[in-house]
Amino acid sequence: MEAMRVIVSMAVAWGKQEGACHYSSLLAFHHDWSYSCLLTIKRQPLEPEVCSQEDPKAESDNLYERYLDSHSVDKDPVIDLWNMKVMLFLIFSVAIALVATFVTYLPDYKMKEWAGGEAELQEAQSLPFIDSNYFHLSKIILPDDDN
Amino acid sequence: MLKILIPTFMLIPLTWWSKNPWLWINPTTHSLLISIFSIMLLYHNSDLGYYYNTAFSTDSLSGPLLVLSCWLLPLMMMASQSHLTKENSNRKKTYLTMLITLQLSLIMAFSSSELIMFYILFETTLIPTLIIITRWGNQTERLNAGLYFLFYTLMGSLPLLVALLFMHNNLGSLHILTTTMMPNTLNFSAPNSILWYACMIAFMVKMPLYGLHLWLPKAHVEAPIAGSMVLAAILLKLGGYGIMRITIFTEPITMHLSYPFIILSMWGMVMTSSICLRQTDLKSLIAYSSVSHMGLVIIAALMQSTLSFMGATTLMIAHGLTSSMLFCLANTNYERIHSRTMILARGLQTILPLMFAWWLLASLANLALPPTINLLGELTVIISSFSWSNFSIILLGLNTVITALYSLHMLTTSQRGKFTHHTYPIKPSFTREHILMALHLIPLLIISLNPKIILGITY
């Protein structure tokens, strides 16, 4: 019990920076194990001191406190609102619409439709679909074997 | 290509010369406009691709990945706005510059037509990512995470450099167009095996393969939201893209030497999915799920069949969007309760019902629900690996089941059930967060309607 009081009083003493008198009074405390030195320390009402060791910063800024319709882009309500409007316009009306249109109307991607058309032509002439020769052999005109 | 590169480069002066109220709006809006221009990279009318000049080319493999990385830059900027509010203006600008530099190196890496240039840019992407992880991460473990990330990738890519220089010496050129025409005669012998491993190990670390995956949970968890998004969505795909490009050179030895990696990948998929079921940390769960999905991509890329390449490309795009969306959702939790533990923020369906809708759609996409492209990719890989070996379906089917299990576990733990007393005073969802989720999901759904653009070079 006494040890607890000692600890508490030392905490109070170190917590309140009162100046030179406080340090010497602590020395006196140690010296004669009496509590009279404690009377020299000014009693201040104890303020609640919340000191978390891991997170000394204050709580994170609650954007909704200042501005109820916050879009969390900026602290200024006007910039926040207009930034969000611009972003939403650019994203949905410009980016996604243009990209989706581009991708939908890509002309004959990888020439699959052309290849299908060519295969149908070959089938109509009852030729094999693909030949190991790139050109028709009849279309290659070679010069004569003159020395 | 310059119409995308120069505006992206000019985003850096835009960031530094923006006044404070305009600091976030300017780069986000302009990067969104750049991503609209990048959509033109999706137009391919032949199998060869577009060769803009000797340095830059795009084809139907790199086009979708380029569009994905251009699309993600405005999303990353929007996601980072809230955790950077306390920083001073110069630090915010540095952060944005790191993102933009990373974007530049990614665009150049995916559009590079020569493999040495790809290698240099592959390494260049490490530096901004390392800075983002180690400087703006939230816990002290971020330093360890940055170290693991950097040195795992560097140890893997040093043999790749030696192998690329050796092959350049022998073949004369490492340009993608010319090497597809060259005869491949890398026969099965011990020195050639070492050359093959040297080529592959960098991409295996990047993917990551199961045994070399230790950097990924650390880096993904400790990175801030933009770091997590770019790591999960794009940087892992650099590995898959690299495998698909470099196996052009390494035929016919690949069919002999790929066995250990395919087996390790299959086993690793099941292992990491099972680890997901035991995770308490939300971001760690999503990170391990990334390893599991990338295991599928490794299997597909090493199997070298037409169908499997289609599945690999589809999975890369699908997983990029889904995983990035899940990290954004985890970040919305983290910003409210400042902890990544799953059970601390539970029962959110009653408190934030609209965010629950996004959680539901993201989890359903993650477990490859039809008709999303996640299912398209996974099913294509399962079909092609079944034709490679009938027994693989046991492991792949098991992986599908466990993927569904942990996705639903994540959803039910964080969303359903009774909320705790400390959860209900959290702030409601912001419009910015809803926009982020919508922008991840809407491309995913649009592509599901028309998946031919992401089916890759063998379509």
User: At a CB cut-off of 8 Å and minimum separation 6, what does B90 contact?
Assistant: none
Q: What is the pLDDT of residues A66-96, one digit of tens each?
A: 777 777 777 788 888 888 888 899 999 999 9
Q: Which of B286, B191, B290, B294 lies closest to B242 in space, CA to CA?
A: B294
**What is the Cα–Cα distance from B236 to B68, expressed in whole angstroms?**
13
For residue B109, report the phi and psi dihedrals to the nearest 5 degrees: -65, -45
Residue A141: per-residue pLDDT: 84
Query: Using CB atoms, which residue from B32, B44, B432 is nearest to A110?
Result: B44
Residue A125: per-residue pLDDT: 84
Q: Which of B23, B36, B78, B310 to mutate to test the interface with A (most CBs of A within 10 A)?
A: B36
Please check whether residue A79 touches B, CB under 8 A. Answer: yes
Q: Which of A99, A105, A113 to mutate to test the interface with B (most CBs of B within 10 A)?
A: A99
Poorest-pLDDT segment among B161-165, B252-256, B398-402: B252-256
Q: What is the pLDDT of residues B257-298, one digit of tens each?
A: 999 999 999 999 999 999 999 999 999 999 999 999 999 999
Mean pLDDT in residue range B168-188? 85
Mean pLDDT in residue range A131-138? 77
Residue A26: per-residue pLDDT: 46
The residue extents of the domains of chain A are: 72-127
Three-state secondary-structure class, residue A43: coil
Confidence band (pLDDT; 50, 70, 90) for A49? Answer: low
CA distance B171 to chain A (A): 27
Half-sphere exposure of B71 (CA within 13 A, CB side): 29
With 0-12 / 13-18 / 19 or more C-beta atoms within 10 angstroms meaning exposed / middle / buried, residue B353 is: exposed
> Residue A83: its chain B contacts at CB < 8 A?
24-25
Q: What distance lies between CA B60 and its chain's CA centroid? A: 17
Taking the model in full, what pTM does it have? Answer: 0.87
**What is the Cα–Cα distance from B309 to B292, expressed in whole angstroms?**
18
**What is the Cα–Cα distance from A61 to A75, expressed in whole angstroms?**
10
Please check whether residue B19 touches A, CB under 8 A. Answer: no
> Residue A102: its chain B contacts at CB < 8 A?
39-40, 42-43
CB contact at 8 A, B1 and B54: no
First to last CA, chain A: 122
Residue B424: per-residue pLDDT: 78
Check CB contact under 8 Å for B450 and A104: yes
Scanning every residue of chain A, which has its alpha carbon at the shortest distance from the alpha carbon of B335?
Answer: A60
Mean pLDDT in residue range B302-325? 95
Quick check: A48 pLDDT over 50? Answer: yes
Q: What is the pLDDT of residues B144-160, one digit of tens each?
A: 999 999 999 999 999 99
